[in-house]
Amino acid sequence: MSERPLKVGLVGGGKGAFIVHPHQRAINMDGTRRVAAGALFPDPQVALEEAENWPYPIKGYGSYDEMIQDQAKLPEEERLDYILIVTPNFVHFDPAMKALEAGIPVFCEKPLTVNLEEAEKLVRKVRETKIPFAVAHTYLGHWTSRLSRYIVRSGLLGEIRWVDAYYIQGWLATKLEETGNQQASWRTDPKRAGLSGCGGDIGTHALMQLRYVTGLEVKRVSARLETFVEGRMLDDHFTAYCELSNNGKALVRASQICIGHKNDLGIEVAGTKGALRWRQEDPECLVVHLNGQPDRVYWRGAVAAGDGFLPADMPQELLDEITLPSGHPEAFHDAFARLHRSFEADVRKYKAGQPVVCDGSKYANVEDGWMGIAFIESCVKSSKSDGAWTEVPPLP
Ligand SMILES: NC(=O)c1ccc[n+]([C@@H]2O[C@H](COP(=O)([O-])OP(=O)(O)OC[C@H]3O[C@@H](n4cnc5c(N)ncnc54)[C@H](O)[C@@H]3O)[C@@H](O)[C@H]2O)c1
């Protein structure tokens, strides 16, 4: 396949939409991908107007059905290379499945779907077709998340005993959904958000950070989904005490009512030899604590293999992922760009007929998306039985 820029089609993103914009900047960041088309809004007329008003020329469609059907008819070289789904949660499954049926790779926002049945159908379809599929768990794209994963999974902290994975916000401390706020209104509506508000929206990010960094699975949960804002239909505070696959323990917690917290996602991992701490609001460094030694602070771009803690044989691929010299800060957009860059590599392999190992090491895959929904459903069940220990089902 030629090295022409990959063409991305958007599902959602018109009229005051939020997450499409960090994505589209990240897509365009390397010059090797570009947004080429979009079905940007549920109303066809508005969708076409919004495409007309896009900051650069794109082909507008009245609906994602129309976009996928039209693209499926085009010769391979002219077709969209992947679609990006940035709609509210209840509009993830249908466009994702239709794109897969048309042979188009999918980059889908999280949480994957609004129920496990839909998630399972997507897992089965991806296994059957082997089409690349990414779920947008943004924070895996920080280089420091990659380094955390390497440190923990190489056993440098010993056996993992305890993980605290959290995502704390304060923006829904009042009934924002009654003010016409677009993002608040669908996030607090079970028909559009799913079974859990706070847990589904940001608890899934905390869970994914835990699973990505440690490689451990959550086996059982004792959870509480709480609603502090009166009259709100879904939880705005979410706490899950977890048993991990190595018999370690974890807390996966999320909140939207902690005034002062913005996007306070972080992880602490405590092992028998040492511990690690990382926060996405300060994403350029991670701190390692070793028993009886001064704390070590690792900065992206300034990491040396063989420094007395990191082994001399660190994978070159990991070191090569750095894109800016240390001290020129990377953040949210760069994390998204790293995910799209990794996905691009898989899409190019897929299009060239080469085997693609979509194993979750560079971005969350469809099975990670399924795990997020399985975790949420188990937490909802546990919370309804007063926090009773509840199994999280294994992957189908
Ligand atoms: N990865 C992250 O860090 C992150 C951050 C924020 C949001 N998200 C996820 O992204 C998704 C969107 O969230 P948001 O905050 O951008 O929402 P938003 O309300 O700002 O934008 C959603 C967009 O989808 C459009 N839309 C709805 N139904 C559609 C349809 N049938 N066809 C075409 N367009 C349609 C809306 O008009 C709007 O343009 C959600 O699933 C959310 O969980 C992820």
Distance 91 CA to ligand 1 centre (A): 9
SS (H, E, C) the chain: CCCCCEEEEEECCCCCCCCHHHHHHHHHCCCCEEEEEEECCCCHHHHHHHHHCCCCCCEECCCHHHHHHHHHHCCHHHCCCEEEECCCHHHCHHHHHHHHHCCCCEEECCCCCCCHHHHHHHHHHHHHHCCCEEECCHHHHCHHHHHHHHHHHCCCCCCEEEEEEEEECCCCCCCHHHHCCHHHHHHCCHHHHCCCCHHHHHHHHHHHHHHHHHCCCEEEEEEEEECCCCCCCCCCEEEEEEEECCCCEEEEEEECCCCCCCCEEEEEEEECCEEEEEECCCCCEEEEEECCCCCEEEECCCCCCCCCCCCCCCCHHHHHCCCCCCCCCCCHHHHHHHHHHHHHHHHHHHHCCCCCCCCCCCCECHHHHHHHHHHHHHHHHHHHCCCCCEECCCCC
* C-alpha dihedral sign at 301, 302, 306, 311: negative
**Predicted local confidence at residue 2, as pLDDT:** 52
Sorted by sequence, the CB contacts under 8 Å of residue 65 that are 6+ apart come out as 98
pLDDT in tens, 92-117: 999 999 999 999 999 999 999 999 99
**Predicted local confidence at residue 322, as pLDDT:** 86
pLDDT in tens, 14-58: 999 999 999 999 999 999 999 999 999 999 999 999 999 999 999
For a pocket test of ligand 1, which of 10, 23, 86 has the largest count of ligand atoms closer than 8 A to its C-beta?
A: 86
Residue 331 covered by a domain? no
Residue 249 covered by a domain? yes
For ligand 1, atom 22: residue with the closest CA: 87
Count how many Cα atoms sit within 13 Å of the Cα of residue 343 in the half-sphere of its side chain.
35
Specify whether 166 is located in the same domain as 274: yes
Distance 187 CA to ligand 1 centre (A): 10
Specify whether 286 is located in the same domain as 377: yes
For ligand 1, atom 37: residue with the closest CA: 41
- Per the listing, tokens 């940035």 go with 86
Specify whether 201 is located in the same domain as 307: yes
- Residue 27, domain CATH: 3.40.50.720
User: How far is the first Cα of the chain from the last one, in angstroms, to the nearest whole number?
Assistant: 34
pTM equals 0.98
Mean pLDDT, rounded, for 333-338: 98
Specify whether 126 is located in the same domain as 169: no
Sorted by sequence, the CB contacts under 8 Å of residue 342 that are 6+ apart come out as 141, 362, 363
Specify whether 219 is located in the same domain as 281: yes
Would the pLDDT of 1 be above 60? no
Burial of 46-61, coded b for 16+ CB within 10 Å and e otherwise, reads: ebbebbeebeeebbbb
Say if ligand 1 is within 6 A of residue 263 CB.
Answer: no
Residue 1 covered by a domain? no
Reading the block at residue 261, the tokens are 């917290």
Distance 282 CA to ligand 1 centre (A): 25
- Per the listing, tokens 């905390």 go with 206
Say if ligand 1 is within 6 A of residue 109 CB.
Answer: yes
Reading the block at residue 4, the tokens are 């022409």
Residue 393 covered by a domain? no
Distance 86 CA to ligand 1 centre (A): 4
Say if ligand 1 is within 6 A of residue 18 CB.
Answer: yes
Which has the higher per-residue pLDDT, 145 or 76?
Answer: 145
**Predicted local confidence at residue 128, as pLDDT:** 98
pLDDT in tens, 157-187: 999 999 999 999 999 999 999 999 999 999 9
Residue 260 covered by a domain? yes
Mean pLDDT, rounded, for 256-277: 98
For ligand 1, atom 9: residue with the closest CA: 109
For a pocket test of ligand 1, which of 19, 135, 181, 202 has the largest count of ligand atoms closer than 8 A to its C-beta?
A: 19
Tell me which residue of 253, 270, 249 sits closest to 261, measured CA to CA: 253
Specify whether 23 is located in the same domain as 94: yes
Percent of the chain scored above 90 by pLDDT?
98
Residue 101 covered by a domain? yes
Distance 210 CA to ligand 1 centre (A): 24
Say if ligand 1 is within 6 A of residue 136 CB.
Answer: yes
Which one-letter amino acid corresponds to residue 350?
Y
- Residue 379, domain CATH: 3.30.360.10
Percent of the chain scored above 70 by pLDDT?
99
Distance 287 CA to ligand 1 centre (A): 34
pLDDT in tens, 74-95: 998 999 999 999 999 999 999 9
For a pocket test of ligand 1, which of 87, 89, 114, 142 has the largest count of ligand atoms closer than 8 A to its C-beta?
A: 87
Specify whether 146 is located in the same domain as 120: no
Residue 351 covered by a domain? yes
Structural domain for 357, as ranges: 6-139+337-364
pLDDT in tens, 223-255: 999 999 999 999 999 999 999 999 999 999 999
Q: Quick count: other Cβ atoms within 10 Å of Cβ 307?
A: 12
Distance 22 CA to ligand 1 centre (A): 12
Specify whether 304 is located in the same domain as 229: yes
Would the pLDDT of 140 be above 60? yes
Specify whether 44 is located in the same domain as 152: no
Specify whether 105 is located in the same domain as 190: no
Residue 254 near residue 246, CB atoms below 8 Å: no
Specify whether 152 is located in the same domain as 96: no
pLDDT in tens, 356-374: 999 999 999 999 999 999 9
Say if ligand 1 is within 6 A of residue 181 CB.
Answer: no
Would the pLDDT of 297 be above 60? yes
Say if ligand 1 is within 6 A of residue 235 CB.
Answer: no
- CA–CA dist 368, 364 (Å, integer): 6
Reading the block at residue 218, the tokens are 């959550």
Say if ligand 1 is within 6 A of residue 208 CB.
Answer: no
Sorted by sequence, the CB contacts under 8 Å of residue 354 that are 6+ apart come out as none
For a pocket test of ligand 1, which of 10, 15, 18, 24 has the largest count of ligand atoms closer than 8 A to its C-beta?
A: 18
Number of domains in the chain: 2
Residue 128 covered by a domain? yes
pLDDT category of residue 304 using cuts at 50, 70 and 90: very high
Distance 191 CA to ligand 1 centre (A): 14
Say if ligand 1 is within 6 A of residue 83 CB.
Answer: no
Say if ligand 1 is within 6 A of residue 11 CB.
Answer: yes
Say if ligand 1 is within 6 A of residue 189 CB.
Answer: no
Specify whether 96 is located in the same domain as 229: no
Q: How confident is the prediction for the chain on average, in pLDDT?
A: 97
